[in-house]
Amino acid sequence: MQDHFHTYLLHLADNALVLGHRNSEWCGHGPILEQDIALTNISLDLIGQARYFYQYAAQRKGAGVTEDSLAYLRNGNEFFNFLLLELPDDDWGFTILRQYVFSQFQHLLYQQLQNSTDQQVVAIAAKALKETAYHVRWSREWVIRLGNGTEESHNRILRSWEKIKDYTGEFFIPAPYETELINSGMAIDPGCIREQWVMEVSSVFEGATIPFHGSAWTQSGGKQGMHTEHLGYILAEMQFMQRAYPGLEW
């Protein structure tokens, strides 16, 4: 029998890990020191959240599964993160806008997960929610600043939205493994937070003078393990040491 709840925990963890990894690429490259630090702090939070979900998944599985084996020894088609989060960084505007749309989603999701029938999911979501509130706040202010900044910053954030918008639909479509969990109350239906997400994002866009237009069509597949070529490069970098030197510690 397939363990859908295990896959769901991996989905929640992989989202946080993959974006945490992408953001960590900015370490030492941020436009100014304070923002470099902000983004790496957000990475730490995300990787910490991923660890809680991996630890829980590993504890449920037993049989030698650990948080490290889940992070370092799975192949690309066993990762269940959103496609948006694995896309390479383009510029600061892209990084900021991706962070904002995802943090806004995550904030609503973690709020809803307080109603899960699984107590550990409730505990992790409650913990993560507090940090995510800071991520939303920080990225939102940057979206507004870039949108209202120079012609250059405005155009770049517009260009970023053109790339990002086709990937946000995936947030709200339940994967087959979620449907059953939604019915039993362990997971929440991501479709039910779409309306509020659109409301929040469009109001921030209005403040940033960026036209908000959604897309009826969406890229999808990440939640089911079908990825872009970019995830492979992330995993190659992240997993190399454990693959080459199994069990290495430092």
Cα separation of 49 and 57, whole Å?
A: 13
Nearer to another protein, 72 or 134 (CB): 134
| Residue 106 binds to another protein (criterion: CB under 8 A) | no
DSSP sequence for 67-93: HHHHHHS--GGG----GGGGSPP-SHH
- Name, in order, each residue with C-beta under 8 angstroms of 109's C-beta and a sequence gap of 6 or more: 125, 188, 190, 193
Helical H runs in the chain? 4-24, 33-61, 67-72, 92-113, 119-147, 151-168, 176-184, 194-207, 230-244
**Angle 169-200-47 (CA atoms, 0-180°, nearest 5)?**
65
Interface pick for another protein out of 73, 122, 158, 198 (rule CB under 8 A): 122
Q: How far is the CB of 55 from another protein (least distance, A)?
A: 8
Q: Does 126 bind another protein (CB under 8 A)?
A: yes
Distance, CA of 168 to CA of 108 (rounded, Å): 14
CB of 112 to another protein, least distance (A): 16
The CA R_g of the chain, rounded to the nearest whole Å, is: 18
Residue 232 beta carbon to another protein: minimum distance, rounded to whole angstroms: 25
Q: Which of 1, 62, 63, 119 binds another protein (CB under 8 A)?
A: 119
Residue reference for tokens 């904002």: 100
| Count of residues near another protein by CB under 8 A | 30
Which of these segments, 105-113, 133-141, 148-156, 214-222, binds another protein (CB under 8 A)? 133-141
CB contact at 8 A, 70 and 54: yes
Comparison of 7 and 43: residue with beta carbon closer to another protein: 43
Q: Which stretch binds another protein (CB under 8 A): 1-9, 93-101, 115-123, 212-220?
A: 115-123
Binds another protein by CB under 8 A, chosen from 61, 65, 66, 134: 134
Write out the residues near another protein by the rule CB under 8 A. Answer: 34-35, 37-38, 41-49, 51-52, 119-120, 122-124, 126-131, 133-134, 137-138
